[in-house]
Chain A
């Protein structure tokens, strides 16, 4: 499992997916602790990033 993960670090799309996954996680944390009136914007952004992250991690055909 760990070997597979390390091997996939060579794929740029995987690294990008991982990055946006982390950012999404931070945004979720920010959303749950924020009382700002603009909270929904954080939620929608976190959700979009999560979907993008999942796509970049899942897709394999765009790398060599």
Chain B
């Protein structure tokens, strides 16, 4: 892949604009709240697009295209089952507690609802996860640039990390959020020409359906048994593991995404943020799954004349991760290549910045201020927030080099995610909807859930991974194993929290107002127009989601 001067110009303009946004926001940063939360009244369209853009990192873009090629239409479950329902649930039921409690972060909500030890456990595990996640994004970006453009790995790391640091250091969270919106448009508009031209080249959706095996073009039809579909998952495992535990665990409790709704201008906008975001999220498969399906169709004998093939890895197998870069190289002429590369860079930077800003807030508010320096001046916390940005970026660089040394670190990270996020939703579900839940119950529930996840991983084997205690059961795919791990973690947390809560004393009801469903006054939307009501919007979105599932059944 050779870039022309115009391609380099597109990349250069992108760099200038993202840093420029940081400088524009810089003027408004006067307090730690401006830096770590919001420096202006951020409108709904911005918080909504930032909400999905924070999740539109490397894993989402490259990973979903790869899954589209590997698993076919079934990949849409990560959107239509694994995201939309949880996003609507967050907007309708959970945002009133996050926003109404005036908590500045998810761990701070845990401290208000439960106690300091539950907050500390969640804050530390989250901070470690975000640094690792940010480092993996950085590593993946540098690796991609090294492979497809033969750019120097070290230089790519320094430049990408330097740019992200510049715009967060100057503009804080608002700058990251504004850039996420720019990056969202860049990803969507930068990859749309690829989808259109590749779909035209392959001959349209009917040709894809004619040439691919039927289990690759149906979302549900072959899920009656695990052996009949490429993911190796039974529909019940999918609904409970992905559709309930993993999906709600991520979209409803992960501060990285919830933070974007928590900085909305008012309660109504905070509730509408995930619901409005669900609409573009629902359509994302067109950008990130369809190219994968087209790629695998182009590999069929009938379309061999098109001259495209998915690159192979060192073992001679198909390297699905390289599907998107190879399609950009195949279809984009010189002069447009820079746009494709910039769209990829935007996805990596967006993922990295999201993690760094979430790390900033959690470290400053939930670790530093909560345990090390309680009553310092606001200026002091602003300094700490800025310093944490630098430390977070440096830690990400270190993690990127660790990832370079261990080629399976991404698998390890995914495992850690399922250990930590899997059980977390049980804590919130019980905490928000059962006033009897206690701090001891929540803490030991989290510990039990994480232990159950580790135990399940140690006793199950999937694609050669796991079973480090004893190979008790074999699971067809790593994805199926992740769903089962998350499900076991959720159940263990739920049961433990329930039992320990019944054995310990709950907080007085007066302290739980605004934090628990039954003790919080319900907001009425009867007077406003229908589109301002999160419940009405949620019902419309869920109806469309059900229809899409039927259409691609």
Residues of chain A at the chain B interface (Cβ within 8 Å): 9-10, 12, 15-16, 18-20, 22-23, 26-27, 29-31, 33-34, 36-39, 41-42, 44-45, 48-49, 52, 62-64
A16 to B306, CA, bound (A): 36
Which of B6, B41, B181 meets A16, CB within 8 Å? B181
Complex contacts, A20 vs chain B, CB 8 Å: 185, 189
Query: Known contacts A23-B339, A34-B335, A52-B185; can you find 11 more A-B pairs with CB under 8 A?
Result: A15-B20, A15-B21, A19-B13, A19-B17, A26-B9, A33-B6, A34-B334, A38-B331, A39-B333, A41-B193, A52-B189
- Of chain B, the residue at the smallest CB distance from A48 is B189
A54 to B162, CA, bound (A): 31
Whether the Cβ atoms of B4 and A15 lie closer than 8 Å is no
Most A C-beta atoms less than 10 A away, residue of B21, B197, B336, B339: B336
Nearest 8 A/B pairs, CB to CB:
A30-B335, A30-B6, A38-B333, A36-B333, A19-B17, A26-B9, A45-B193, A22-B13
Any A CB within 8 A of the CB of B178: yes
Whether the Cβ atoms of B182 and A19 lie closer than 8 Å is yes
20 contacts between A and B (CB under 8 A): A12-B46, A12-B181, A15-B20, A15-B24, A16-B182, A16-B185, A19-B14, A30-B4, A30-B335, A38-B333, A38-B336, A39-B333, A41-B333, A42-B335, A45-B339, A52-B185, A62-B45, A63-B43, A64-B40, A64-B41
Complex contacts, A41 vs chain B, CB 8 Å: 193, 197, 331-333, 336
Whether the Cβ atoms of B333 and A42 lie closer than 8 Å is yes
Any A CB within 8 A of the CB of B265: yes
- Of chain A, the residue at the smallest CB distance from B336 is A42
Complex contacts, A42 vs chain B, CB 8 Å: 333, 335-336
Q: Chain B at the A interface: mostly helix, strand, loop or mixed?
A: helix
Determine the interface band of chain B, counting residues with CB < 8 A from chain A.
20 to 34
Whether the Cβ atoms of A64 and B43 lie closer than 8 Å is yes
Most B C-beta atoms less than 10 A away, residue of A42, A49, A63: A42
Interface residues of B in 331-390 (CB under 8 A from A): 331-336, 338-339
A31 to B336, CA, bound (A): 9
Whether the Cβ atoms of A15 and B182 lie closer than 8 Å is yes
- Cβ of A20 to closest chain B Cβ, rounded Å: 7
Complex contacts, B163 vs chain A, CB 8 Å: none
Complex contacts, B43 vs chain A, CB 8 Å: 62-64
Any A CB within 8 A of the CB of B202: no
Assuming the contacts A34-B333, A45-B339, asked whether A15 and B17 have C-beta atoms less than 8 A apart, the reply is yes
Any A CB within 8 A of the CB of B430: no
A33 to B335, CA, bound (A): 9
- Cβ of B9 to closest chain A Cβ, rounded Å: 5
A9 to B178, CA, bound (A): 12
A29 to B338, CA, bound (A): 13
Assuming the contacts A19-B13, A19-B17, asked whether A30 and B336 have C-beta atoms less than 8 A apart, the reply is yes
Whether the Cβ atoms of A26 and B336 lie closer than 8 Å is no
A64 to B333, CA, bound (A): 39
